[in-house]
């Protein structure tokens, strides 16, 4: 984090954090709503337990309150970039499966995808304010997932959405942490706050 924020930078960061927090909140609400729709549309059980999906970053983290702001931003950025790819793949698969028959689900997925993209943009902007380089996206992106069966695709989609909902909560807390004024040098981690 920059040693001394200019007032405009601080204002900009506060604005980005505030907006990111609200976006994360809306994203969570939308994802929750989308989960219901998705479960219903895909014929899944809402209580179905889904194992960790490969390529999906986990929101849960140990020593969360010990993370620095930059670290938080980087983890969030990585996660949302992954979600962006996963959601785009889900959207494509959903179109292939249902065509235009369920445009509502497709629009909802697209909306969430947009929000994920927007949140990633917020994170990148915050990193720029932190005078940190933005890590480039990995070349061609993550390795293409193995070919999955249709049911496995549905389960993976359910897992992506559930994890995204978790990440939305965590991201809001991370940004709140970042929005708080730095205690001293700015290199110190943010205040401890349990997710």
Partner 1 sequence: MFSRWNWVACGFCLVLNICSPDASGGLVQSCGHIIPESPVLALGSNFTALCILNESCLDFGNIYANQIIWKIKNRVVPKEQYHEINRTVSSVTFNDTSSLATPLTCNILADGQIEQNIYGITVTVGLAPEKPKNLSCIVHQMSRFTYVMNCTWNPGRHTFLDTQFRLRYSWPEELFPDCIPKGVNNSCTVTDIQFFVNTVIWVEAENALGKAESDPLVVDPIDIVKPLSPRNVSVSSGILPTVLKLSWENWISDAVMTLKFNIRYRIIGDTNWMEVPSEDTASRRTSFSVQGLRPYTEYVFSIRCMKEDGVGYWSDWSEEKTGITTEDQPSEGPSIWRIIDESHSPASWTVHLMWKALKPFEANGVILQYEVTVRDKSSLSCPLKKYNVTSTNYTLQLPKGTYEVTLIARNGVGASPPSVLLIPESNSKAPVKNLRTLPKHDKLWVGWTAPNSYVLKYVIEWCLVSSSSDCIIEWQIALGDVEGIDLKGIKPFKCYLITVYPLYADGQGSGQSVKAYLKQDRPSKGPTVQTKKVGKAEAVLTWNHLTVEEQNGFIRNYTILYKTIDGNETVVTVDPSKTEYTLSSLTSDTLYTVRMMASTDNGSRTGPDFTFTTQKFGKGEIEAIVVPVCLAFLLIVLLGVLFCFNKRDLIKKHIWPIVPDPSKSNIAQWSPQVPAKHNFNSKDQMYPEGSFTDVSVVEIEADNKKSFSEQDLKPFDLLKKEKSTSEGHSSGIGGSSCMSSPRQSVSDSDEGETTQNTSSTVQYSTVVLNGYRDQTPVQVFSRSESTQPLLDSEERSEDHAGGADSTVQRQQYFRQNGGQDETNTDRPCFERTKQITHANEGDLVGFVQLQVSGQSSQPLGLGMEKNTQEAALSNVLQTCTEGQAVRPETVEENPLSVDDMPKSYLPQTVRQGGYMPQ
Which residues in this chain contact partner 1 in the complex, by CB under 8 A?
A: 19-20, 22-23, 25-26, 28-30, 33, 107, 110-111, 114-115, 117-118, 121-122, 124-125
Question: Least Å distance between CB 3 and partner 1?
Answer: 26
Q: What is the largest CA-CA distance in the chain?
A: 56
Report the alpha-carbon distance of residue 43 to residue 72 in Å, rounded. 36
Choose between 50 and 85: whose C-beta lies nearer to partner 1: 85
- Overall size of the chain counted in residues: 195
Q: Taking the complex as a whole, how short is the minimal distance between the CB of residue 108 and partner 1, in angstroms?
A: 8
Closer to partner 1 by Cβ: residue 20 or 189: 20
Nearer to partner 1, 14 or 19 (CB): 19
Nearest to 172 by CA among 122, 125, 127, 130: 122
Smallest gap from residue 72 Cβ to partner 1 (A): 18
Distances (CA, A) of 164 to 72, 129, 141, 189: 16, 25, 19, 25
Q: Residue 53 or residue 178: which is nearer to partner 1 going by CB?
A: 178
- Interhelix angle 150-179/69-98, rounded to 10 degrees, is 150
């Amino acid at each position: 984090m920059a040693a001394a924020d200019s007032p405009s930078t601080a204002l900009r960061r506060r604005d980005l954090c505030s907006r990111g927090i609200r976006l994360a909140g809306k994203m969570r609400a939308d994802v929750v709503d989308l989960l219901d729709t998705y479960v219903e549309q895909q014929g899944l059980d809402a209580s179905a337990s889904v194992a960790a999906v490969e390529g999906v970053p986990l929101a849960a983290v140990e020593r969360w309150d010990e993370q620095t702001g930059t670290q938080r931003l980087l983890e969030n950025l990585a996660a949302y970039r992954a979600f962006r790819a996963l959601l785009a793949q889900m959207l494509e698969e959903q179109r292939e499966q249902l065509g235009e028959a369920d445009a509502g689900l497709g629009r909802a997925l697209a909306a969430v995808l947009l929000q994920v993209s927007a949140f990633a943009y917020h994170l990148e902007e915050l990193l720029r304010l932190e005078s940190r380089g933005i890590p480039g996206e990995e070349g061609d992106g993550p390795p293409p997932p193995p070919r999955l069966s249709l049911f496995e695709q549905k389960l993976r989609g359910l897992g992506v959405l559930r994890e995204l909902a978790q990440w939305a909560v965590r991201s809001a807390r991370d940004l709140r942490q970042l929005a708080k004024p730095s205690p001293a040098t700015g290199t110190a981690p943010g205040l401890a706050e349990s997710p």
